[in-house]
Structure 1
Amino acid sequence: MKPSHIARIDIYVLQDDKPAAVRASFGTFTQRTTLLVKVQDQYGHGGWGEIWSGYPAFGAYHRAAMLERLIGPSALGRTLEDIPALQDEWETALLPMLRLAGEPGPIAQVLAGLDCALWDLAARAQGVPLYQLLGGQSRPLRAYASGVAPKLAPEQLDQLRAQGFHAFKFKAGFPEDSALDDLERTVALLADGEIAMIDANCGWSPEQAHQAHDRIRSLSLQWTEEPIGCERSPAEWRALRAASAHPFAGGENLLNLQAFRDAFEWLDVIQPDLGKWGGVSRVLPLAREVMARGLRYCPHAFGSNIGLGLAAHVLCAAGGDGLLEMDANPNPLRALSGAFIALQDGYLTPSDRPGIGVDPDEQGMGEYLRQHLIVTHAA
């Protein structure tokens, strides 16, 4: 059999105009989009990836156009013999756009999602789960509910528990002091064996972050995520980390390997997003380097079940005690992206189905499908 090569690329933009409100320090989601990419080989095998398009929602269309017009045509006919080399090649080819348009983020995101789809395709073509192709094995992964508001009624917390969650990441980084009061009351509701962490979404200035960490010093937290922005100086990060009683987490907004390595100095938990930078080709080696340095790898995932499935398989392959992030907010786009394994008493164990084991319903996307682009050779 000839080596698999890329024969067709399908790009799906899904949009929900009436999402459940999710307030973060940078704003409230009034729309949600999901950008999925499917790559098929000449034998009809298909692999899926997710290209980050979290905020603003209209960014999904720009990234879709980049894949359709810039990267997709040059990808057709390429074999899967060396997937990491393809990402390196395409990144080099896009240097003019990076220089002239100044868009390292969108470029990294499109290449990352495409890379993930190629790895899923390669695993499906060989009939093995992705974690096996990557040298790992299936195992129970402790998962946590992400995107949880700091003010949570007991019955709302019980609803999350009923979904199988026993770990929770609460939103933080808000300017009002009452948000920290809400956080303290909510964390006090947790039962023995349940754990909490907070995500400030870069919402505090260094001064505000110092004040907030003084307020929450007594709280039992796994980590504080992105208390300040990744653009802040190393000196500001070092000073804040030295004054904090909790480990620091971050990485979803870093866009090159050196930035991650620099952040090893002040981050205890490293959180690359597979659809935002690096894809499988770069995130898995990074995860292994993270753990070799005695740090913790916990993939960022706040989108569709495609992204969740990829994060779970790479976490299985990487090993370690990292936690799996799961968006706990209602999201119809997540259901349209395909079903994934359900939580069981706080843990998720990927199946042994080929690839990531997630298959979107391409015919059932209905009103949420706003754009479907196809890249293939002309008949």
Structure 2
Amino acid sequence: MKPPLITRIETFEFTVNLRNISGSSSGLGLIYTPGDQGTVGRSAMRIETDAGVSGEAAGQMIMAVRQADLVARFLIGRDARQRNEIYRDLLFELRQHDALAIGLIDICLWDLAGKLYDAPVYELLGGRRRPLRAYASTYHGDRVGGLDSAQAYADFAVRCQQMGYTAFKIHGWIDADPGEEIATIHAVRDAVGDSMALMSDPACAIATFVEAVRVGRACDEAGFAWYEDPLWEGGKSFHVHRMLREKLQTPLLMSEYLRGLMAHTDAAIAGATDILRVDAYQDGGITGAMKIAHVAEGLGLDVEIHSHSPAHRHLMTALRNTNFYEMNLVHPDPKADTSAVNTYTNYRDGLDAIDDQGCVYAPEGPGLGAQVDWDYIHAHRTGGAVYER
């Protein structure tokens, strides 16, 4: 086969509309705000080759395509099949940055490879199509009639359970009060019984170590599946997370806010976490995410994939040491369900995107099997660039 050489890369910045959602008072997160309407920036990319095959993907972080300005021109003329070499070279070129651009580039190259070989990405990764057990991952708490109390979380968990979900994750309040977090943990467990897997993710909102231990021990009492990123420092201190692990029975999940293979490996070896978190968009694409998953497997650990996307369904399908697909972020108000914000024409996530067993599947068809909605993206485009010979 003649090498398919990259001839053109186009990046896209665009906006998607949000309803009943706004930034928190701190400006550090999205919370439920009835009546508010706004937009959030998203990114997409298309990589074309002289073989007439292209790879494409729509992402989440707009900074990824802005960072691509630093490296995209170096990819023109490269063999699009050489994903590992490109991954390595991009890491070098972006060594002074967080390397977010690698994620979107690599996902496009995997989509391209699947189209080139007429196979879905999960088959190229060695997987077979199977049901992926999903969990409902909530918004942060609010004070305006949505997820505004322990009872509101409990009621929503029961609703999700009745829909078919077998797992539910609590994102508590950004202005976290440990007593309120603890009450919510117990209220949700009491409401759904023992048959539903539960998780707590304060998203780094717990202010002190002592408070993080208190909330973690409530997770112990309620039999939670994991306790995720509680500490305010964002997962950067392996020492403090190792101390927290030693005081709890519930598995600790940490590393969403780390970037790349080396940081995840160091966190696991340092004993800072029981479960690794990985995101193909943030951790070097599917290539980088597979490397992290294999490190975790070698150490006897599980890896959980952050948030929803076609790429993440393919990734999860090919992994043994993973448990749940994150439907993120969901809310009792269906108009505020950001997991349902869609930039594909033949694929969707969302609270109601599961089957009656609470599962989802990787798309079928070559590559990612998900067609980017280019009409929508062009209509809402705010920026981007073209790189070609």
Give CA deviations for 1:352-371 in whole Å, capped at 9, x if unaligned.
31111111110134654333
Check conservation: 1:51, 1:114, Cα contact below 8 A: no
The Cα shift of 1:122 comes to 0.8
Shift of 1:12: 2.3
Q: Which ranges in structure 2 are unaligned for 5 or more consecutive residues?
A: 31-37, 142-146, 331-336
State the distance in 1 between where 2:162 and 2:381 align: 31
2:119 aligns with 128
Question: Aligned-pair RMSD on alpha carbons?
Answer: 2.7
Relative to structure 1, is the Cα distance of residues 297 and 147 closer, same or farther in structure 2, using a 3 angstrom cutoff? same
- Inter-partner Cα distance in structure 2 for 1:355 and 1:263: 32
Once the 2 structures are TM-superposed, how far is the Cα of residue 128 of structure 1 from its aligned partner? 0.1
Task: Provide the secondary structure at the position in 1 that maps to 2:2.
Answer: coil
- Aligned partner of residue 71 in structure 2, secondary structure: helix
2:243 matched to 1:239? yes
Percent pairwise identity: 21
Contact map agreement 2:235 2:254 (CA 8 A) in 1: no
| Counterparts of 1:324 and 1:178, CA distance in 2 | 27
For 1:57, the equivalent position in structure 2 comes to none
Q: CA shift at 1:40, angstroms?
A: 2.1
Structure 2 Cα separation of the partners of residues 169 and 317 of structure 1: 23
Query: Aligned with 2:191: secondary structure?
Result: coil
Query: Any idea what SS the aligned residue of 1:271 has?
Result: strand
Q: Kindly provide the amino acid, as one letter, of the partner of residue 186 in structure 2.
A: E
Offset of residue 163 of structure 1: 5.5
* CA gap 1:367/1:186 in 2 versus in 1, 3 angstroms: farther
**Equivalent in 46, 54, 58 of residue 46 of structure 1:** 54
Please identify, of 6-15 and 124-133, the stretch whose mean Cα deviation from structure 2 is larger: 6-15
Report whether the alignment pairs 1:197 with 2:209: no
1:291 to 290, 297, 301: 297
Q: Number of residue pairs matched?
A: 355
What displacement does 1:194 show?
1.8
| Higher-RCO chain (CA-CA 8 Å, sequence separation at least 6) | 1
The alpha-carbon distance between structure 1 residues 195 and 216, as it changes in their structure 2 partners (threshold 3 A), is closer
Per-residue CA deviations over 1:223-272 (Å, capped at 9, x if unaligned) read: 01111234543331111111112101122221243321222113121111
Q: What residue number does 2:257 align with?
A: 253
Partner of 1:363: 375
Corresponding residue of 2:338 = 331
Q: Paired residue for 1:72?
A: 72
1:198 to partner: Cα distance = 1.2
Q: CA deviation at 1:220?
A: 2.0
Q: How does 1:10-21 map to 2 (within 5 A)?
A: 10-16=10-16, 18-21=18-21
Q: Is the 8 A contact 1:36 1:51 kept in 2?
A: yes
Contact 2:136 2:327 in 1 (8 A): yes
Secondary structure at 2:84 match in 1: helix
Question: Cα–Cα, structure 1 residues 26 and 44, in superposed 2: closer, same or farther, change >3 Å?
Answer: same
Decide whether aligned partners of structure 1 residues 5 and 272 sit closer, same or farther in structure 2, where only a CA change above 3 A counts.
same
Task: Give the equivalent residue in structure 2 for 1:277.
Answer: 283
Is the contact made by 1:49 and 1:275 (CA closer than 8 Å) also made in structure 2? no
Counterpart position of 1:7: 7
Q: Deviations over 1:14-56 (max 9, x none)?
A: 3246444378898332753322222222233232345552xxx
Question: AA paired with 2:49?
Answer: D
SS in 1 for 2:278: coil
Q: What is the distance in 2 between the residues matched to 1:157 and 1:297?
A: 24
- Is 1:138 aligned with 2:146? no
Q: Give the drift of 1:372.
A: 4.3
Task: Decide whether aligned partners of structure 1 residues 270 and 2 sit closer, same or farther in structure 2, where only a CA change above 3 A counts.
Answer: same
**3-state secondary structure, aligned to 1:139:** coil
Question: How has the CA–CA distance of structure 1 residues 254 and 272 changed in structure 2, closer, same or farther, with 3 Å as cutoff?
Answer: same
Q: TM-score, normalised by structure 1?
A: 0.84
1:8 CA displacement: 2.1
Q: Distance in 2 between matches of 1:194 and 1:22?
A: 30
Unpaired runs of 5+ residues, structure 1, are 54-59, 99-103, 303-307
What amino acid sits opposite 1:181 in the alignment? Answer: A
Output one character per residue of 1:87-137: Cα deviation in whole Å (capped at 9) or x when no partner.
Answer: 211222334xx1xxxxx22xx111122111111111111110001111221
Question: Closer, same or farther in 2 for the Cα pair 1:122/1:366, shift >3 Å?
Answer: closer
**Which residue is equivalent to 1:347?**
359
Task: Give the aligned residue type for 2:50.
Answer: Q
**SS in structure 1 of the partner of residue 281 of structure 2:** coil
